[in-house]
Structure 1
Amino acid sequence: MGPEYSKIGKTTPSQSAMVVSINNFSDEILTHILSFLPFKDAFRTTVLSKRWRPLFHSLSVLRFDDTCVKNPDNWILFRQFMDLVMFSPYSHNLTLKSFHLNCRSMRWDSKSDCFTLNTWLQEAKRRRVEEIQLFFFLEDFMKLLSGCPVLENLKTEEVLKAELKKLIIGCSMLEDLKYGYDDSIVGVTAGGYSKPLPKLSKADIHLFDVPLRAVSGVQFLTLTGMGKSLPNEEINSYYKGYPVFENLIELQLFWFDHCIHDWVEVVTMLQNCPKLQILSISKCRNSTTTEDSKYPNHVPKCVSSHLTTCKIIDYEPVEADFQFATYMLQNARLLQVMEIHCPFTPKAMVSPKFIDDLIYCPRISPACKLSLE
């Protein structure tokens, strides 16, 4: 953001000819054309004529970026430009589809800035905005929310985390969620929410970010931080307590360093994913694998009737990993692809036997192709 928003040059002859040639278009067509221009170029059209001024302000998607704000003067110009667009009388009664604000400048610091941000958001809300996207550095985000008049009760990082989670699980129109605030859940308590987000189809979250019940209606799920557990069983059951994922067709599971890798837990989760077709498991070389792999007698429905692809990353030639891989090969009737990715430097006390035997393991699916990498 810079002086280009305050100093707009006069039109050239070629530009004037262009104005003459498209002035016969309806306002709807001209507004549609403006929507394809970079935002600051669309703004420049306001100097062409009186007719063009309201066209820009009728845009239903607003994108602001303060990346170029480098000094106090630029910051003043940026805020004036934001006010000019957000509070324009030409757009007062128009619905706003989307409001994007990319906040990378280090100028977001004072309470007055928090209040200004709040007024922009309130105006977007008044215009019945359908989507809001805000991009902040984490420290600036904490400062702004903590100083925002609407959220002035947020005094600690722990409370802020809790409020962010409440905000997420309260967004009934959310369709795609990617959330990874912090590994720590200090200060976050259980309780309150039990329904899935009705519109959500895709989620990429860390374990204990939001309750799994909130994302139980998705088709695509990426879950990071498997193997973690908390001493408080109430919180464990609130965030985990694997619900039934009725619509899930693709599942990716990731483990962290020094976590416990339990294959029985994976099979337990699969029992609650009746339509799963694609399963990807990324172990961690520094995780601990439990050896007690007594799977339930009942094979999960997804394994016997739907699973077509299974991938295991950082497979180790140990008995537990071998048992899980053979379990899938011997029970997945529709399995087409089984990918096994071994680490470059296997741990000590492993046996090549658990790789060689895997090659010759019987497969219930005649179409299954085993890939070892």
Structure 2
Amino acid sequence: MEPEDDKSETSTSISTLPDSILCHILSFLPTRTSIATSVLSRRWRHLWKHLHVLNLDGYSFNTPELSRDHVEDRFVDFVNEVLHQVQVRRIQKFRLEGEVRNYSCTLSFWIDAVTSEPHLQELYLSLWNTSGSFYTLPYSVFSCPSLVSLVLKGDIIVSFDNLKSLQLPSLKNLDLEIISTELDKLLSLCPALETLKVFIFFNSGGIDPNEIHVPRSLKRLTLESEACDSTVDHLEIHTPSLEYLDIALVACYSQISVRTYPNLVEACLNICFDDMHIDWMPKLLNAVCGTKFLALQASTTACLICVPSLEFPQFCCLVRLQIGFEFFNSRVLIDLLHCCCKLEALLIHACESVSYGCLYGEPVEPSSWTQPVSVPSCVVSHLSIIEFRDYEDLEEEHEFIAYVIERGLVLKTVTIHTRTFTDQEIKDHILKKLSVVPIGSSICQLKLE
């Protein structure tokens, strides 16, 4: 129990803070909680009305004894009262989440009210409808000149009859995980966009994108699409300032147009195994060859393995490589290591599942160990960390690990993770086999987990 004098001191110290600081503290709370502080004292009674941040959560009204219609009515009344009491003109951040069933018109009224004001910088909408219908976002969202960040999630549709007078000149961050959007039209409204995160739902009853052209101003791009039999004709990523790239393409993409990215720091490629993807994979790999951190998921590796006469580009800046395999392939990995002269950390994930496109051919088959003609330079001079997940102690896996342990002159740690439920006897056998391999580095530690 806190002593009375300590409570008094705490209360006194809080009461000495100016209203602006107290409002800033309240802005980190759900608005419903902020309003509850009005009972503390006369000074707190109207403090919440000066908030610049509104966080309105419809799910917080759910209780077992109330019907969904009753919960919805209470939430609508609450938001109406909040917007009536606060100074809407001063709102900088507006967050609204909940289930939309019977109040679409009222919802549009709220959104129009906050987006028409000059100070709104961040808008977050997470709206879901279990009845199967969708909510069409009002145009006012796309003509808000002050908006810097826009996050849309749920059963929302974004469509445009006319782009005239629509523009988001200040928008830097766009995060979309909605049922349908005319993505190319929306992106054309964002000339200053720097961060784009998109999850595309295909065959959802909405509008499937045929072409995607991302803004040249982008610095961070995360693009993901769900598994389906749909095809995107053209994906264009002409973004010279790109620093981060994470693409998970499970739908089929007929053509991809890329440029070199001189500022790229990190890239993660998860491209489903598909005949048409095999054709353009080398072009994408060349575009990201300047990155420092690279992750190739198993589906991507499967595409690369099937590229006829594949020649890897030189990854002169790469220091960390994460690579997945459905079936471990030492030949491809050794070829890749020859092109990574500064590689310091290698993370291998065997037995990863592979996602397939709509036009895939034969699955990738297991390979076998072949002694390399020469040792990759990074193994001798830079490689200090190796981690191998889902290790099964197949002959090819063992020979590869033994090869790099023996020739890795600066290795610090080699960590082997066996598959889940591997019994201790097998683990002991694996460790015994690797323990007799000559170690090239005097400081190398071999760990089996």
- TM tier relative to shorter chain: 0.5 to 0.7
**CA gap 1:107/1:262 in 2 versus in 1, 3 angstroms:** same
Which has a greater percent of strand? 2
SS in 2 for 1:265: helix
Partner of 1:172: 218
Partner of 1:349: none
Contact 2:383 2:411 in 1 (8 A): yes
Distance in 2 of aligned mates of 1:207 and 1:267: 26
Distance in 1 of aligned mates of 2:211 and 2:266: 22
Shift, 1:141, TM fit = 5.6
TM-score, normalised to structure 1, is 0.64
SS in 2 for 1:126: coil
Distance in 2 of aligned mates of 1:76 and 1:165: 40
Of residues 30, 37, 44, the one that matches 2:29 is 37
Contact 1:261 1:289 in 2 (8 A): yes
Unaligned runs of 5+ in 1: 1-17, 347-351
Percent identity of paired positions between Structure 1 and Structure 2: 18
Distance in 1 of aligned mates of 2:57 and 2:335: 46
Distance in 1 of aligned mates of 2:365 and 2:337: 21
Distance in 1 of aligned mates of 2:87 and 2:371: 64
Contact 2:156 2:178 in 1 (8 A): yes
Distance in 2 of aligned mates of 1:242 and 1:30: 49
Partner of 1:100: 124
Alignment of 1:149-168 (within 5 A): 157=203, 162=209, 166=213
Contact 2:387 2:416 in 1 (8 A): yes
SS in 1 for 2:368: coil
Partner of 1:114: 136
Shift, 1:236, TM fit = 2.9
Shift, 1:364, TM fit = 1.9
Distance in 2 of aligned mates of 1:155 and 1:229: 19
Distance in 1 of aligned mates of 2:334 and 2:208: 31
SS in 2 for 1:290: coil
Partner of 1:132: 150
SS in 1 for 2:236: coil
SS in 2 for 1:31: helix
Matched, 1:282 2:349: yes
Contact 1:251 1:280 in 2 (8 A): yes
SS in 1 for 2:181: helix
Give the paired residue count: 329
Matched, 1:55 2:50: yes
Partner of 1:192: 236
Alignment of 1:217-236 (within 5 A): 219=265, 228-231=273-276, 233-236=278-281
Shift, 1:284, TM fit = 0.7
Contact 1:114 1:144 in 2 (8 A): no
Contact 2:136 2:156 in 1 (8 A): no
Partner of 1:261: 328
Partner of 1:299: 376
**CA gap 1:285/1:188 in 2 versus in 1, 3 angstroms:** closer
Amino acid at match of 2:330: W
Moved more, 156-165 or 183-192: 156-165
Distance in 1 of aligned mates of 2:407 and 2:399: 12
**CA gap 1:199/1:222 in 2 versus in 1, 3 angstroms:** closer
Larger RCO (CA within 8 A; separation ≥ 6)? 1
Contact 1:173 1:199 in 2 (8 A): yes
TM-score, normalised to structure 2, is 0.55
SS in 1 for 2:225: coil
Shift, 1:318, TM fit = 3.0
Which has a greater percent of helix? 1
SS in 2 for 1:334: coil
Partner of 1:334: 410
Distance in 1 of aligned mates of 2:402 and 2:279: 35
Alignment of 1:54-73 (within 5 A): 55-56=50-51, 58-59=52-53, 62-68=54-60, 71-72=68-69
Distance in 2 of aligned mates of 1:126 and 1:367: 58
Shift, 1:171, TM fit = 6.9
Distance in 1 of aligned mates of 2:219 and 2:279: 28
SS in 1 for 2:392: coil
Shift, 1:310, TM fit = 0.8
